[in-house]
Amino acid sequence: MRRSDLGEFEELVLLAVAALRPEAYSVVIAQELEEQTKKLVTTGAVHASLQRLEKKGYVISEMGPATKERGGRRKRLFTVTALGSKMLHQAREVREGLWEKIDPNTLSPIPKLS
């Protein structure tokens, strides 16, 4: 399987779009990724990734309704396409296949965080 056109951050953004649907837009995607990765994620980085993913055909977008919270502005909502879904499933298969091949004694245990 050739996945060179889907970077790690793009994969995370694509997963977040799937997880947050139908309210997947750049601000909440950045918030979700920050929460999950415990790292700073800017909306600009998410927006750029979403544009690349849309150009590759992995997501589609449409304008949502205007909301009071946004001062009457509309949000661009994203949805994973069939091709994007296929890419995520392939990525998961590869990762799970590799995890299954790791001998239990190879990796150190995860340290407990206090």
Is the separation of the CB atoms in 78 and 89 below 8 Å? no
Dist. CA 68–CA 21, nearest whole Å: 20
Number of domains forming the structure of the chain: 1
Residues 1-17 have pLDDT tens digits of 444 588 999 999 999 99
Residue 46: give the domain boundaries.
Answer: 8-100
- Among all chains, which residue has been given the structure tokens 């947050």? 20
Instruction: Write the DSSP symbol of residue 109.
Output: P
Residue 110 falls in which region: left (phi positive, over 0), alpha (psi -120 to 50) or beta: beta
pLDDT score recorded for residue 6:
85
Q: 114 pLDDT band (50/70/90 cuts)?
A: low
Residue 108 in domain: no
- Among all chains, which residue has been given the structure tokens 């995890």? 99
Residue 31 in domain: yes
Phi, psi of 59 (to 5 degrees): -140, 160
Phi, psi of 71 (to 5 degrees): 65, 30
Residues 79-110 have pLDDT tens digits of 999 999 999 999 999 999 999 999 988 988 88
SS3 48: helix
Residues 39-94 have pLDDT tens digits of 999 999 999 999 999 999 999 999 988 777 767 788 999 999 999 999 999 999 99
The two three-digit tokens of residue 1, written as one number: 């399987």
Dist. CA 5–CA 45, nearest whole Å: 17
Domain CATH number, residue 58: 1.10.10.10
Residue 68 in domain: yes
